[in-house]
Amino acid sequence: MPNELGRDLNCSANLASFCESSYPEAAAEGPLVRVLAVNNYPALERFERLRACLIGNGAAVTSAEWNEVSSRMFDSYDGVALSGSPDMMSEPKIQAKYEKEIDAIIDTKVPVLGVCFGHQMMACAFGSKVVKDGRHVLEMVRTTVLAEDPLFRGLPRSLMLLESRHEVVESLPEGFQLLAKSATSEIATMKHATRPLYGVQFHPERYTNENPDGNAVVGNFVRLLK
């Protein structure tokens, strides 16, 4: 899809051309799980979509800014979701900026879902490089599930999910397994082999009526916290 937005952003480009879906979130059954949603955006607009998607899938959500977090804070919730960001994780100054959040990812004992920039941050936390891709991806992308996992429970092997990015994880971090790849990202979804840490290069919260798969991914993450 041609990029006509005229803005050099990673994971937070103006997605106005993608209509927000009226597809209803499927609330999880039973008591609400407590999810900490971490905002890595400079403004709340993009973050609010992730927060609303978690709530719609049965989570009681508490929001925190990136500079407020710690592993102790993470561990006081049932799970954590890390948002996208316009920042570039390939840059050392950005890695230094998010040092507290990176340390919290490494030390936490609870499940974590890293979305786009959050996925790249998780990879960086466990020793992988994030690199420029040479293109700006902003489109619904065909994504192929490679391994069975609760994150994709009830979904077909072939999904349509929104990617909005300039950078990618260069290689799978040590101790992680590859769960999915896409037409534009070799590491579209990864999971730690022994810990419930998930990274997704796509934006599951940015689903549409025509392509609702992302909402189901968020719902599955919420359900695995029970």
Q: Which residues are identified as catalytic?
A: 116, 203, 205
Q: What is the DSSP letter of 107?
A: H
Where does residue 193 rank: exposed (0-12), middle (13-18), buried (19+ CB within 10 A)? Answer: exposed
Spatial separation of the C-alpha atoms in residues 145 and 163, rounded to whole Å: 16
- For residue 200, give the 3-state DSSP assignment: strand
- Which of 71, 58, 73 lies closest to 24, judged by CA? 58
Q: What is the DSSP letter of 50?
A: H
CA dist 160 to 51, 81, 119, Å?
21, 21, 18
Q: What's the token pair of residue 172?
A: 């799978």
> In terms of DSSP bridges, do strands 158-169 and 130-145 run parallel, antiparallel, or are they unpaired?
antiparallel
Q: Contact, 122 vs 112, CB < 8 A?
A: yes
Q: What's the token pair of residue 173?
A: 């971090």
Residue 213 backbone dihedrals phi, psi, to 5 degrees: -60, -35
Spatial separation of the C-alpha atoms in residues 79 and 196, rounded to whole Å: 9
CA dist 19 to 15, 102, 133, 151, Å?
8, 32, 26, 25
